[in-house]
């Protein structure tokens, strides 16, 4: 059954990450500080980020999905790694949002991939007349 979703934010820059947000070194929960307010985000919202080879925005390595687990303040959230899809037959595995490259910059100075936030509104339904 189809799900209704809405887009909350697109192209939100990631400023910094803390991989110890859950008390475990290296995730799967990361504290992410954004370069803009994400005050409209809610717990349960989905975040997607495309991971490219540093310096090559045509070489998509994987699309990552995270979920908001806590709201720290207007520009800081705790997010949990859910999955990633490399478009072939697997995934690259759990990784910090600060380790995902946008394809801009260079291998020595990559740029973090921006985040897109969506909200699941629940199951779609039709009214029968």
Output the average pLDDT for the chain.
87
Which tokens hold the place of 18?
Answer: 């803390």
What integer pLDDT is reported at residue 55 of this predicted model? Answer: 87
- Domain assignment present for residue 129? The answer is no
- Domain assignment present for residue 102? The answer is yes
Mean pLDDT of 106-118: 90
* Residue scoring higher pLDDT (68 or 19): 68
Q: Is 17 in contact with 97 (CB distance < 8 Å)?
A: yes
* pTM score, whole prediction: 0.86
What integer pLDDT is reported at residue 1 of this predicted model? Answer: 45
CATH number of the structural domain spanning residue 70: 2.40.30
Q: What is the chain's alpha carbon radius of gyration, rounded to the nearest angstrom?
A: 15
- Domain assignment present for residue 128? The answer is no
Look at 50-54, 67-71, 94-98, 120-124 and tell me which has the smallest mean pLDDT. 120-124
Mean pLDDT of 112-123: 90
Assess whether pLDDT exceeds 50 at residue 129: no
- Domain assignment present for residue 68? The answer is yes
* Residue scoring higher pLDDT (81 or 24): 81
Residue 38 sits at φ, ψ, to 5 deg, of: -125, 40
- Domain assignment present for residue 127? The answer is no
**How many independent structural domains does the chain possess?**
1
Mean pLDDT of 50-78: 94
- Domain assignment present for residue 56? The answer is yes
How far is 71 from 27, CA to CA, in rounded Å? 17
Q: Name the residue range of residue 51's domain.
A: 3-122
- Domain assignment present for residue 31? The answer is yes
What integer pLDDT is reported at residue 110 of this predicted model? Answer: 85
């Amino acid at each position: 059954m189809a799900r209704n979703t809405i887009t909350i934010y697109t192209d939100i820059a990631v400023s910094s990450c803390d991989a110890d947000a859950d008390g475990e070194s290296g995730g799967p929960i990361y504290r992410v500080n954004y370069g803009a307010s994400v005050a409209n985000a809610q717990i349960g919202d989905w975040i997607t980020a495309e991971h490219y080879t540093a310096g090559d925005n045509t070489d998509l390595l994987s699309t990552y999905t995270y979920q908001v687990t806590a709201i720290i303040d207007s520009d800081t959230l705790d997010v949990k790694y859910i999955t990633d899809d490399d478009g072939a037959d697997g995934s690259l595995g759990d990784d910090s949002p600060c380790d995902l490259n946008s394809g801009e910059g260079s291998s020595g100075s990559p740029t973090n991939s921006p985040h897109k936030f969506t909200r699941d509104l629940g199951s779609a339904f039709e009214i029968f007349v």
